[in-house]
């Protein structure tokens, strides 16, 4: 009853008394978006907050490092009716991986490690079967190091305050998911271990190393490793929803699990604006090395990975636009930072509700700022529904037995078998059945290039499929949107 009364109070205050708070003096944008754009952004975010039950949002739209629109919506803390503002401090989840990657790159730049060094050089505790795991393969998620927690595997006790040695021992207790460099699979565990590498090479806790070498020099004074004991002004409360939709405070985790290098940071949109600005220059790393972080490494056999991970970022293309981004989810918070590098436009969106669709919202906001960046629609008219049905059958075959080679051209078999097809099989099995498949874009004669939208329980994925003249699949690319 208490939760429901607080939620009712929030809805009354938020939707009828106004959702926004202006940035503080000295942090106001030097430029501004047109009024029609800001009104459209406000309207869209309010509708999404209502539809998804999001409590608070802080937003920044940035052009080449200069803020165009910075605003807070809703509440940072329900219990005290504190509004969300640009200076509100959120947990940013896996957005923090890019900072871990920068720490590793900085140490490589100082010749204190090499990205192609074996993990065992720094963590001799790893088993001999991990001998081909390198730091580079950990950065780009091609190491094969398994997740601590998956739908099939729950290794972590969230309330146990692990020592570093205990976490390392737990991580190496599982066999690799695949031979390093032959496949790609997202691994928080790999980044946890990278943090321990930084600790040992730098001779200090990775969070202290980041504070000294990145956060303090850039003036990111509100960005730090999570702490339940520190006094953190403007800290938002994190919220989660139960399976029945009941709102509750973030689940407790031990202090040790709020210090790991896979994404245990606080930050604000104002600090992330400073970070975005620094990524255009050499303040963090020489720009050529930053560009290297945003590239996608081929597998050992030369094939292109199905998932386009750089080092702490994803490097995608959305409707022809290069998009470097990452999202994060942890302990009652969801966040996204999307950089449309050809347009030099960045959208940063931080929220205090777990598992809300921040990536989709960030893409929609970008499209409201620049029509060239408009995301895919839900569907378009399909002049060849049989081809769509055949692609659905193809995905069903891959999910069940790992392949449907008869639908691939000879060139596609060279590009996609075995690496990408192995990744796709695992992806389809882990995400569950496709609930709906629709056509969202078509180009070229006779539907030579089609983009399909696949809706799953917790994810939307876009498949870009190139066809040969005889309707065989000639290439396939995947873009995921949470």
CATH code assigned at 14 = 3.40.710.10
Find the radius of gyration of the CA atoms of the chain.
22
For the residues 22-42, what does the mean pLDDT come to?
Answer: 71
3-state secondary structure of 41: helix
pLDDT tier at 138, thresholds 50, 70, 90: very high
Query: Which has the higher per-residue pLDDT, 192 or 24?
Result: 192
Query: Which has the higher per-residue pLDDT, 17 or 446?
Result: 446
Note the pLDDT of residue 432.
Answer: 85
Note the pLDDT of residue 16.
Answer: 31
Judgement on whether residues 476 and 389 belong to the same structural domain of the protein: yes
pLDDT tier at 290, thresholds 50, 70, 90: very high
Cα–Cα distance, 260 to 189 (Å, whole number)? 9
Judgement on whether residues 364 and 443 belong to the same structural domain of the protein: no
Judgement on whether residues 365 and 312 belong to the same structural domain of the protein: yes
Judgement on whether residues 354 and 428 belong to the same structural domain of the protein: no
> Per-residue pLDDT for 60 more than 60?
yes
CB-based contact 419:303 (threshold 8 Å):
yes
Q: Which residue matches tokens 């219990």?
A: 79
pLDDT tier at 8, thresholds 50, 70, 90: very low
Note the pLDDT of residue 31.
Answer: 60
Does 17 reside within a domain? yes
| Contacts of range 33-38, beta carbons closer than 8 Å, 24 or more positions apart | 33/61, 33/68, 33/69, 33/369, 37/69, 37/368, 37/369, 38/69
Note the pLDDT of residue 4.
Answer: 33
CATH code assigned at 449 = 3.10.450
Does 116 reside within a domain? no
Q: Half-sphere exposure of residue 220, counting CA atoms within 13 Å on the CB side?
A: 28
> Per-residue pLDDT for 104 more than 50?
yes
Span of 207-211, 264-268, 445-449 with lowest mean pLDDT: 445-449
pLDDT tier at 440, thresholds 50, 70, 90: very high
Cα–Cα distance, 57 to 70 (Å, whole number)? 11
Domain end point (choices 342, 373, 404): 373
Judgement on whether residues 282 and 369 belong to the same structural domain of the protein: yes
Instruction: Look over the chain and give the mean of its residue pLDDT values, rounded to a whole number.
Output: 92
Judgement on whether residues 390 and 368 belong to the same structural domain of the protein: no
Q: Which residue matches tokens 């146990």?
A: 160
Does 124 reside within a domain? no
3-state secondary structure of 64: coil
Judgement on whether residues 365 and 421 belong to the same structural domain of the protein: no
Judgement on whether residues 410 and 363 belong to the same structural domain of the protein: no
Note the pLDDT of residue 140.
Answer: 98
Does 64 reside within a domain? yes
Domain end point (choices 349, 373, 397): 373
SS3 for 324-383 is: EEEEEEECCEEEEEEEECCCCEEEEEEECECCCCHHHHHHHHHHHHCHHHCCCCCCCCCC
Does 158 reside within a domain? no
Domain end point (choices 373, 408, 431): 373
For the residues 246-258, what does the mean pLDDT come to?
Answer: 95
Does 29 reside within a domain? yes
Judgement on whether residues 367 and 285 belong to the same structural domain of the protein: yes
> Per-residue pLDDT for 2 more than 90?
no
> Per-residue pLDDT for 22 more than 70?
no
Q: What are phi and psi of 301, to 5 degrees?
A: -85, 5
For the residues 7-26, what does the mean pLDDT come to?
Answer: 36
Cα 191–Cα 193–Cα 198 angle in degrees, nearest 5: 90
Judgement on whether residues 461 and 429 belong to the same structural domain of the protein: yes
Treating both helix axes as pointing N-terminal to C-terminal, what angle do 97-109 and 188-202 enclose, rounded to 10 degrees? 40
For the residues 197-203, what does the mean pLDDT come to?
Answer: 98
For the residues 91-107, what does the mean pLDDT come to?
Answer: 98
Note the pLDDT of residue 458.
Answer: 86
Does 9 reside within a domain? yes
Judgement on whether residues 341 and 398 belong to the same structural domain of the protein: no
> Per-residue pLDDT for 72 more than 80?
yes
* Strand arrangement of the beta sheet that strand 90-91 belongs to: 90-91, 265-267, 224-225
For the residues 117-125, what does the mean pLDDT come to?
Answer: 98
Cα–Cα distance, 236 to 230 (Å, whole number)? 14
Span of 1-15, 380-394, 437-451 with lowest mean pLDDT: 1-15
Note the pLDDT of residue 413.
Answer: 94
pLDDT tier at 339, thresholds 50, 70, 90: very high
pLDDT tier at 150, thresholds 50, 70, 90: confident
Note the pLDDT of residue 272.
Answer: 98
Say if residue 82 is exposed, middle or buried (CB neighbours under 10 Å; 0-12, 13-18, 19+). Answer: middle
Span of 16-25, 139-148, 283-292 with lowest mean pLDDT: 16-25
For the residues 366-381, what does the mean pLDDT come to?
Answer: 96
Domain that holds residue 417: 385-481
């Amino acid at each position: 009853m208490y939760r429901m009364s607080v939620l009712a109070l929030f809805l009354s205050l938020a939707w009828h008394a106004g959702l926004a708070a202006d940035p503080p003096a000295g942090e106001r944008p030097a430029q501004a978006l047109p009024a029609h754009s800001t009104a459209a952004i406000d309207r869209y975010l309010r509708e999404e907050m209502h539809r998804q039950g999001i409590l608070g949002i802080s937003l920044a739209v940035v052009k080449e490092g200069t803020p165009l629109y910075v605003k807070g919506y809703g509440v940072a803390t329900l219990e005290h009716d504190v509004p969300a503002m640009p200076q509100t401090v959120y947990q940013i989840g896996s957005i923090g991986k890019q900072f871990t990657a920068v720490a590793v790159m900085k140490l490589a730049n100082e010749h204190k490690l090499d990205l192609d060094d074996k993990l065992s050089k720094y963590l001799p505790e790893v088993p001999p079967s991990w001998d081909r795991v390198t730091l580079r393969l950990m950065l780009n998620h091609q190491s094969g190091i398994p997740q601590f927690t998956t739908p099939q595997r729950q290794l972590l006790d969230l309330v146990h305050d692990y020592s570093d040695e205990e976490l390392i021992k737990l991580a190496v207790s599982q066999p690799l998911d695949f031979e390093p460099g032959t496949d790609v699979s997202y691994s928080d565990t790999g980044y946890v271990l990278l943090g321990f590498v930084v600790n040992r090479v730098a001779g200090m806790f990775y969070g202290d190393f980041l504070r000294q070498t990145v956060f303090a020099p850039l003036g990111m004074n509100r960005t730090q490793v999570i702490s339940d004991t520190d006094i953190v002004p403007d800290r938002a409360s994190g919220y989660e929803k139960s399976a029945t939709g009941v709102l509750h405070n973030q689940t407790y985790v031990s202090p040790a699990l709020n210090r790991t290098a896979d994404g245990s940071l606080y930050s604000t949109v104002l600090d992330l604006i400073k970070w975005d600005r620094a990524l255009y220059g050499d303040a963090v790393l020489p720009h050529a090395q930053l560009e290297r972080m945003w590239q996608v490494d081929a597998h050992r056999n030369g094939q292109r990975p199905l998932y386009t991970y750089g080092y702490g970022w994803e490097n995608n293309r959305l409707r022809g636009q290069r998009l470097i981004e990452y999202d994060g989810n942890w302990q009652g918070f969801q966040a996204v930072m999307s950089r449309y590098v050809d347009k030099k436009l960045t959208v940063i969106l931080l929220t205090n509700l777990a598992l809300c669709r921040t990536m989709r919202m960030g893409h929609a906001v970008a499209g409201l700022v620049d029509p060239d960046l408009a995301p895919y629609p839900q569907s378009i008219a399909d002049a060849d529904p049989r081809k769509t049905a055949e692609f659905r059958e193809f995905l069903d075959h891959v999910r069940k037995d790992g392949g449907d080679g008869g639908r691939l051209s000879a060139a596609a078999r060279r590009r996609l078998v075995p690496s990408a097809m192995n990744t796709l099989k695992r992806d389809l099995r882990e995400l569950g059945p496709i609930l709906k498949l629709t056509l969202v874009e078509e180009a070229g004669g006779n539907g030579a290039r089609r983009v399909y939208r696949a809706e799953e329980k917790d994810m939307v994925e876009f498949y870009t499929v190139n066809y040969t003249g005889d309707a065989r699949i000639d290439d396939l690319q995947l873009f995921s949107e949470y």
